[in-house]
Amino acid sequence: MTTMNRSTLPDSVRTNGATPNPWWANAVVYQIYPRSFQDSNGDGIGDLKGITSRLDYIADLGVDVIWLSPVYKSPQDDNGYDISDYQAIDPLFGTMDDMDELLAEAHKRGIKIIMDLVVNHTSDEHAWFQESRDPNSEKADWYWWRPAREGKEPGTPGAEPNEWGSYFGGSAWEYDPKRGEYFFHQYSKKQPDLNWENPEVRKAVYKMMNWWMDRGIDGFRMDVITQISKVVDSMGRLPGEPGSEIDDYPAGPEGYSSPYPFCSDGPRIDEFLQEMRREVFEKRDGYMNVGEAPGVDAVRNEYITDPAHKELDMLFLFDHVGIDQAGSKWEKVDFDVRHLRKQLEAQQNAVSKHGWASLFTCNHDQPRVVTRWGDDSTEENRAHSAKAFGMLVHLHRGTPYIYQGEELGMTGAHFTKLDQYRDLESINAYRQRVEEAKVQSKESMMDALALFGRDNARTPMQWDGSKYAGFTAADAPTEPWISVNPNHVEINAAAQFDDPDSVFAFYKKLVNLRHNSAVVAAGEWQLVDDDDEKIYAFTRTLGDKRVLMAINLTGQHGALPKPVADLIGDGVREDQIILSTYDAIHSEKSLASGELAGWEGVVIEL
């Protein structure tokens, strides 16, 4: 069990409802996307040795946990989220010895490591799937196989078992000539869904998880884990299949219906997660598990993360990161502070008595928040808006997650051509929406990719101002797998590391607050104003200690909402200001004048 470099919260302070308090109650997690973090051998792809070489940087930031995106053996169809061998490291990233070294070196620094776990689906190159292609094998029903519709030629349009479409474009069914049947895939056609209805599948997954835990990792982040349970009728048929007792929803403008309502937070998800906890985690100490939770709302989050129910420690919910999208992911609506507040309020209130929240705006699937909701048009606005959204995330109740480069205020890629993208989802979406279904113009789709595309978060980490941003050597024989953002010359770790006004320095203060302020880590959360168009304000209270957060999430000056003005009364002294996205003197003057400047956020001790 790794020894943390900080004190834990006393049990007299309530966190998620467990006793004793879990070690992660005042922890901060840092996500690493390995292929974009640090390349140690000049092949243009980040690797495990590169991560190990940067551990001192992560330790200096002060975080407690690294969440490592997949490094397992994979054909890399979806950048490692298509796993062909769970118990091998992909040569792109190094060797198992490199993985063991990373674990040992992280643990020396008091940093835990949790690995991404992708068990809703595997790669179609996984041995389990290859064996499953034989209908007479022991693994014949380890995946969702179905025959073609009666009277239809297998492999032709309309012969699919139902009308479901993949989230990555095209049909969610792929015909396999060897087996003579279709297999179901919610994501890429190279990512067939495992059939969790089969207990042998679950046993194999738990055995693999235990193998990793025994090796010394500290837990898992579980990819789309709430999609492992599917809705089926009394005969095991999926909605919309011939003879199914359950009707499918109508097809949309792209020609497909969606499996999402029937494959997200399904009927057996609680049973499966409870079984996983018994079989893998129950007798272990010092671990953490978090689930990516498509289809789960705030109320269900409370149930799943309530320690009494013995499922998961926390979940990633997505209601708040969909507020600027309408219908399709690729249809933009304006960012609205009120909409964001409403979603985060629901998440916070749901876990006010039991359970826990994951706090984030960025990850490998979400674009950079400073470009998406902030303002990267000038250096001043970029830095202030990066700090404002950092403050928003880290001052709520729950466990904050920092995505690599977020602590620097890294921006979106600002790509303008389709051939600059590498992400399967983005490329397929363009082809389906623009070229095939013709439901979106080329110009509109390129604008959407520039704002929402996942590659915006996947450009190489910006370490310095050299040719390849220090991600790989300037004279490396191979260019990075995806273009380095040109603004790395100005925005990089080397430029910020010793700058007390930098975004990096601000994030260090946020992490320090989480570690050393029980009010911030576990105090009760209470919204102060529920309708202001610019300023998001809330309090955190623990015993007789009370802290007010007021954050202007726009680039314009905003008058303090009356409930905020009432709380601060005759004014705020400089020594009451714990943290400001500007500085204490600036915020003292702003509050005295009854307003906050654009992107000004302030934490006040009441």
Catalytic residues: 223, 292
Per the DSSP assignment, residues forming a β-bridge with 325 are: 332
Helix (H, G, I), strand (E, B) or coil at 332: strand
Q: Which residues pair with 290 in a beta bridge?
A: 221, 314
The residue among 566, 574, 563 whose CA lies nearest residue 605 is 574
Write out the two tokens for 345: 């309020």
Q: Is 594 left (phi over 0), alpha (psi -120 to 50) or beta?
A: left
Q: Which amino acid is at 264?
A: S
Centre a 10 Å sphere on the Cβ of residue 56 and count the other Cβ atoms it contains: 11
Which distant-in-sequence residues (6+ apart) come within 8 Å of 456 by Cβ?
Answer: 367, 368, 371, 412, 413, 415, 450
Q: Cα–Cα distance between 399 and 522 in angstroms, integer?
A: 10
Q: What dihedral angle (degrees, nearest 10) is formed by the CA atoms of 265, 269, 270, 274?
A: -140
Annotate 556-588 with DSSP letters as a single string. Answer: S-EEPPHHHHHHHTT---GGGEEEESS-HHHHH
Distance, in Å, from the CA atom of 34 to the CA atom of 51, rounded to the nearest integer, reads: 7
- Picking from 398, 397, 419, 408, the residue whose alpha carbon sits closest to that of residue 549 is 397
Q: Token pair of 189, please? A: 């056609």
Which structure tokens are listed for 432? 């389906």
Strand order through the sheet with 181-184: 145-146, 181-184, 173-176
**Cα 582 to Cα 349: distance, rounded to the nearest angstrom:** 30
List of residues 6+ apart from 185 with CB closer than 8 A: 121, 166, 172, 173, 174, 191, 192, 193
The torsion angles phi and psi of 327, rounded to 5 degrees, stand at 70, -95
CA distance 577 to 570: 15
Between CA 129 and CA 251 the distance in angstroms is 29
Q: Which residues pair with 406 in a beta bridge?
A: none
